[in-house]
Amino acid sequence: MELTKKKRQANMPTQLYQYDNHIEIMNPGGLYGQARPENFPHVNDYRNNVVAGIMKTLSYVNMFNHGITEVQDLLKENNNPPAVFNVSYLTVFSVIVKDDVTKDVTKDATHELTERQKVILLVIKENPLVTIPEMSLKMNVVTRTIKRDIEVLKSKGFLKREGSRKEGHWEIINDNVRE
């Protein structure tokens, strides 16, 4: 029974959840060995020291026990709040990275958009009555992906919906979209 539980946990993939103002990363495994909630992130331990050593020798790892510091430095450099690490779970390790919700949306913010989001804006610019299923077919992605991108575009101040789902239309607020 215990072996089955460990085997199932080992096969659990890393999960990423995207919300309007943050992302959450759930890594299987939790803290290990000498690493405890009370000394995290200053103490670390490895499940397999041989593999960890090989990863460092092959330059897949620069330095041991520097990843969290590097993540926090990169977030600070990007004007984001620091990541929040939840180590209270037994079988997973959770990292929450919040978006700086105080950022101003500027007319030249299109560099923050993905290529698909830029295409969505161009499609809407051509036809403000286009539906999400039509965009989904045109772009060869599922409707859930289009809906998620539209929510991002709305939250960044590029797009809004006027009227009902059936009778309404899309309105581009920021039309400084580069093709």
Are residues 41 and 119 located together in one domain of the fold? no
**Residue 137's domain is classified under what CATH number?**
1.10.10.10
Domain membership of residue 163 (yes or no) is yes
- Asked if residue 41 and residue 64 are part of one domain, the reply reads yes
Q: Is the pTM of this model over 0.75?
A: no
Q: What is the 3-state secondary structure (H, E, C) of the chain?
A: CHHHHHHHHHCCCCEEEECCCEEEEEEECCCCCCCCCCCCCCCCCCCCHHHHHHHHHCCCCCCCCCHHHHHHHHHHHCCCCCCEEECCCCCEEEEEEECCCCCCCCCCHHHHCCHHHHHHHHHHHHCCCCCHHHHHHHHCCCHHHHHHHHHHHHHCCCEEEECCCCCCEEEECCCCCCC
Residue where a domain stops, chosen among 37, 63, 98 = 98
Same domain for 94 and 6: yes
Considering the domain architecture, whether residues 6 and 74 belong to the same structural domain is answered as yes
Q: Convert the pLDDT of each residue in 112-160 to its tens digit.
A: 788 889 899 989 989 999 999 999 898 888 999 999 999 888 888 888 8
pLDDT the model gives residue 100: 58
143-155 helix and 132-139 helix, angle to the nearest 10 degrees: 110
Tally the domains of the chain: 2
In which domain, by residue range, is 124 found? 109-172
68, 90: one domain:
yes
Q: Give residue 4's pLDDT.
A: 47
Please state, for a pLDDT cut of 70, what percent of the chain lies above it: 78
Residues 45, 41: Cα–Cα separation, whole Å: 11
Question: Other CB atoms closer than 10 Å to residue 84's CB: what's the count?
Answer: 12
- Evaluate whether residue 103 is within a structural domain: no
Does 71 map to a domain? yes
Residues 93 and 6 in one domain: yes
Domain-ending residue, one of 48, 72, 98: 98
Verify that 73 and 113 share a domain, yes or no.
no
Residue 46 sits in a domain whose CATH number is 3.30.565.60
Domain edge (last residue) among 98, 118, 152: 98
